[in-house]
């Protein structure tokens, strides 16, 4: 019989004597190591959550994008594109450097996309739930067109996993499925024994999955039959997705009514316990490296949720990791520790329902930075090129990094002329490029001048990286040097700035010529004035003589008419 069923009493988690087994050996699988491309939930089909390279040492906002609905999905990156789902019912494809939307796929008016997609090559796989049309969808990764789908009446919130040309996923109805990744032909369907909220984790030979009803099992990948299975005590659940690393599967268990939980390290071949770490609930997926297991756990008695570093090997070999044996512990203030941590070369990063993203030192657990995400974080972060990507319940996807490490935009300004008259208008042209000389489309350019007025204070560049404004020169009384400053900003780039000087010449009105002659030399015109005065006097003398003659003539006529 290929399957072996093991009954587990999770209160003590004693299956057999705890095994002092290193993380290697089972099925010949060694530690997976860090992943260079974060292409599915928690980085890879193994769900180990270990990203290659360092996380940013600063928490500057590089860009943000509004999805129009709460984000419970986690971001993935493949082929230079970031993919993430939203409760708006859409899957978005974004530029990881700028946050610009490349395309989006709607799954219906009442749909939600809480599933984290899995990407490989030109194909993208994601689950959705809807009043109608729920299921697993295979999309063209370049435009979002649907290639095939497998319907599911209950909806899919779990995240698919890819391996060797096969896509694996779980349904809320308790089914686990495998299909040809190219054609969508269902290869097998297995009953996990209860409702499923977690996602499958894979190693070279098996798939690991848990149910809400307290069942955890290893299924053979080739046909879905059970290799081994654990039945938890009544009331215990498996909400968290397991992680697989070098012959060990890390599983999280929780019991609401008892306020209890455990992180269990199990042998992948047999399901036997290697060690366990007790807490009050485990709802997220641990991240696994060569030296430690990083788990986000609920511990109400101690004050809330904690990000803990559990030694990879049990220090004293008794099969129980105690609080005193932890490498470190950091309180996140999360409710029940739902966000799964990511571990990088230098930091461990995890979200929290207190609206913050936390980054702590991988070696010591000391806080490196925390970032206000604008809403609860229930999804998990992704890392690429020293940038962290995360979604939050406020509907926003954010890119976080060190702005000082970003490439700087190059801004050049050209003027119609080097000087212009006061009160006249000139066009100013600007071009923005990246460090490679490529046009920076969509960069927002802000303008300012030391004197005068602009037609607008800012505008976004066209596809060729250009933009232009008009400048109205002030009415200055003397030649004046004016400084124009331009700064260009764009997601994924450090702000570029430049400035240029030009001259505005003095103001002259239409009356300036008259005013300039108001100080003419009067002596120069005295002879002419005297002549005009003499002519005027002579004219007056003639007029007076004529007047006397008229009066004399009137008197002569009057005397002759009075005699007989």
Please determine, for residue 223, whether its predicted confidence score (pLDDT) is greater than 80.
yes
Whether residue 119 contacts residue 78, with contact meaning beta carbons closer than 8 Å, is answered with yes
- Residues 392, 394, 396, 401: what is their CA dihedral angle, to the nearest 10 degrees? -50
Give the strands of the sheet with 60-66, arranged side by side: 60-66, 396-401, 387-391, 382-384
Which pLDDT score is estimated for 206?
98
- Asked if residue 415 and residue 399 are part of one domain, the reply reads no
Please determine, for residue 379, whether its predicted confidence score (pLDDT) is greater than 70.
yes
Whether residue 506 contacts residue 476, with contact meaning beta carbons closer than 8 Å, is answered with yes
Q: Is residue 522 part of a domain?
A: no
Please determine, for residue 16, whether its predicted confidence score (pLDDT) is greater than 50.
no
| Boundary of a domain, candidates 461, 490, 505 | 505
Distance CA 215, CA 198 (A): 12
- Asked if residue 343 and residue 457 are part of one domain, the reply reads no
Chain CA centroid to CA 77, Å: 12
Handedness of CA 52, 57, 63, 67 (dihedral sign): positive
Average pLDDT taken over every residue of the chain: 87
Please determine, for residue 562, whether its predicted confidence score (pLDDT) is greater than 70.
no
CB atoms within 10 A of CB 528: 9
- Asked if residue 255 and residue 192 are part of one domain, the reply reads yes
Distance CA 421, CA 445 (A): 26
Whether residue 257 contacts residue 272, with contact meaning beta carbons closer than 8 Å, is answered with no
Q: Which of 114, 116, 127 is nearest to 71 (CA)?
A: 114
Average pLDDT over residues 99-127: 95
Please determine, for residue 14, whether its predicted confidence score (pLDDT) is greater than 60.
no
Q: What is the pLDDT of residues 47-56, one digit of tens each?
A: 999 999 999 9
Q: Is residue 61 part of a domain?
A: yes
User: Which token pair is 84?
Assistant: 């993430």
Q: Tell me, what CATH number does 490's domain have?
A: 2.60.40.10
pTM as predicted:
0.73
Please determine, for residue 131, whether its predicted confidence score (pLDDT) is greater than 80.
yes
Whether residue 195 contacts residue 172, with contact meaning beta carbons closer than 8 Å, is answered with yes
Average pLDDT over residues 80-87: 97
- Asked if residue 384 and residue 417 are part of one domain, the reply reads no
Average pLDDT over residues 43-48: 96
Q: Is residue 548 part of a domain?
A: no
Whether residue 16 contacts residue 9, with contact meaning beta carbons closer than 8 Å, is answered with no
User: Which token pair is 235?
Assistant: 């009331």
Which of 133-137, 267-271, 512-516, 540-544 is predicted most confidently? Answer: 267-271
- Asked if residue 476 and residue 333 are part of one domain, the reply reads no
What DSSP letter does each residue of 421-464 carry, written as one string? ETT-EEEEEEEEE-TTS-B-TTPEEEEEESSSEES-SEEE--TT
Average pLDDT over residues 477-497: 89
pLDDT band at 7 (very low <50, low <70, confident <90, very high): very low
Domain range for 459 is 410-505
Which pLDDT score is estimated for 564?
38
Q: Tell me, what CATH number does 296's domain have?
A: 2.130.10.10
pLDDT band at 271 (very low <50, low <70, confident <90, very high): very high
Which pLDDT score is estimated for 553?
63
pLDDT over 70 for what percent of the chain? 88
Q: Count Cα neighbours of 308 within 13 Å in the Cβ-side half-sphere.
A: 25
Considering only residues 109 and 208, tell me which one the structure prediction assigns the higher pLDDT.
208
Whether residue 291 contacts residue 309, with contact meaning beta carbons closer than 8 Å, is answered with no
Distance CA 496, CA 251 (A): 48
- Asked if residue 313 and residue 452 are part of one domain, the reply reads no
- Asked if residue 105 and residue 140 are part of one domain, the reply reads yes
Measured CA angle at 400 (ends 397, 405), to 5 deg: 145
Whether residue 163 contacts residue 207, with contact meaning beta carbons closer than 8 Å, is answered with no
Whether residue 176 contacts residue 170, with contact meaning beta carbons closer than 8 Å, is answered with yes
- Asked if residue 294 and residue 394 are part of one domain, the reply reads yes
- Asked if residue 326 and residue 422 are part of one domain, the reply reads no
Which pLDDT score is estimated for 195?
93
- Asked if residue 472 and residue 369 are part of one domain, the reply reads no
Which of 378-392, 422-436, 531-545 is predicted most confidently? Answer: 378-392
Q: How many domains does the chain have?
A: 2
Q: Which of 500, 319, 312, 304 is nearest to 414 (CA)?
A: 500
pLDDT band at 269 (very low <50, low <70, confident <90, very high): very high
Q: What is the pLDDT of residues 310-339, one digit of tens each?
A: 999 999 999 999 999 999 999 998 766 679
> Please, which residues have CB within 8 angstroms of residue 142's CB and are 6 or more apart in sequence?
122
Q: Is residue 19 part of a domain?
A: yes
Distances (CA, A) of 422 to 414, 448, 455, 468: 19, 18, 16, 21
- Asked if residue 421 and residue 313 are part of one domain, the reply reads no
Measured CA angle at 528 (ends 524, 529), to 5 deg: 95
Which pLDDT score is estimated for 544?
75
Which residues are bridge partners to 126 per DSSP?
Answer: 137
Which pLDDT score is estimated for 293?
98
Average pLDDT over residues 23-52: 77
Average pLDDT over residues 343-348: 97
Whether residue 484 contacts residue 449, with contact meaning beta carbons closer than 8 Å, is answered with yes
Which pLDDT score is estimated for 300?
78
Distance CA 358, CA 369 (A): 6
pLDDT band at 509 (very low <50, low <70, confident <90, very high): low
Q: Count Cα neighbours of 341 within 13 Å in the Cβ-side half-sphere.
A: 31
Which pLDDT score is estimated for 32?
61
Please determine, for residue 519, whether its predicted confidence score (pLDDT) is greater than 60.
no
């Amino acid at each position: 019989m290929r399957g072996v069923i093991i009954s587990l009493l999770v209160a003590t988690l004693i299956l057999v004597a705890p095994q002092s087994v290193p993380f290697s050996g089972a099925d010949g699988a060694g530690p997976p190591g860090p992943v260079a491309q974060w292409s599915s939930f928690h980085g890879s089909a193994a769900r180990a959550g270990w990203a290659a390279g360092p996380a940013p040492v600063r928490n500057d906002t590089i860009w943000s994008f509004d999805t129009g609905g709460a984000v419970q999905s986690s971001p993935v990156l493949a082929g230079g594109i970031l993919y993430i789902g939203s409760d708006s019912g859409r899957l978005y494809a974004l530029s990881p450097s700028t946050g610009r939307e490349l395309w989006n796929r709607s799954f219906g008016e009442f749909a939600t996309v809480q599933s984290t997609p899995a990407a490989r090559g030109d194909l993208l796989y994601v689950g959705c739930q809807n009043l109608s049309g729920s299921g697993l969808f295979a999309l063209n990764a370049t435009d979002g067109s649907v290639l095939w789908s497998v319907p599911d009446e209950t909806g899919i919130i779990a995240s698919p996993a890819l391996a060797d040309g096969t896509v694996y996923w779980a349904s809320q109805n308790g089914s686990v499925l495998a299909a040809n990744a190219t054609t969508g032909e269902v290869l097998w369907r297995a009953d996990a024994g209860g409702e499923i909220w977690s996602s499958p984790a894979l190693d070279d030979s098996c798939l690991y999955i848990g149910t809400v009803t307290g069942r955890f099992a290893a299924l053979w990948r080739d046909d879905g039959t059970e290799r081994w299975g654990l039945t938890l005590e009544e009331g215990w659940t498996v909400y968290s997705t397991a992680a697989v690393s070098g012959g060990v599967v890390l599983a999280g268990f929780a019991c609401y009514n008892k306020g209890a939980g455990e992180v269990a390290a199990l042998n992948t071949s047999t399901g036997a316990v290697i060690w366990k770490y007790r807490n009050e609930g485990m709802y997220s997926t641990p991240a696994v490296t060569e030296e430690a297991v990083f788990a986000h756990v609920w511990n109400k008695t101690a004050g809330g949720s904690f990000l803990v570093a559990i030694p990879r090997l049990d220090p004293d070999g008794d099969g129980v990791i105690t609080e005193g044996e932890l490498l470190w512990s950091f309180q996140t203030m999360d409710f029940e520790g739902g966000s799964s941590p990511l571990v990088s070369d230098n930091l461990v990063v995890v979200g929290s329902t207190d609206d913050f993203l936390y980054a702590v030192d991988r070696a010591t657990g000391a806080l490196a930075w925390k970032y206000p995400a604008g809403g609860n974080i229930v999804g998990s972060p992704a890392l690429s090129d020293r940038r962290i990507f995360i979604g939050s319940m406020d509907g926003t996807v954010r890119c976080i990094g060190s702005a000082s490490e970003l490439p700087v935009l190059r801004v050049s300004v050209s003027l119609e002329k080097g000087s212009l008259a006061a009160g006249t208008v000139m066009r100013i042209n600007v071009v923005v490029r990246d460090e490679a000389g490529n046009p920076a489309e969509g960069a927002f350019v802000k303008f300012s001048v030391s004197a005068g007025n602009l037609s607008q204070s800012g505008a976004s560049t066209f596809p060729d990286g250009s933009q232009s404004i008009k400048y109205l020169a002030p009415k200055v009384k003397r030649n004046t040097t004016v400084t124009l400053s331009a700064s260009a900003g764009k997601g994924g780039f450090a702000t570029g700035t430049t400035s240029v000087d030009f001259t505005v010449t003095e103001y002259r009105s239409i009356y300036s010529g008259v005013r300039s002659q108001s100080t003419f030399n009067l002596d120069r015109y005295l002879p002419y004035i005297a002549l005009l005065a003499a002519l005027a006097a002579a004219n007056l003398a003639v007029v007076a003589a004529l007047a006397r003659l008229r009066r004399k003539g009137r008197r002569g006529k009057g005397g002759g008419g009075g005699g007989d």
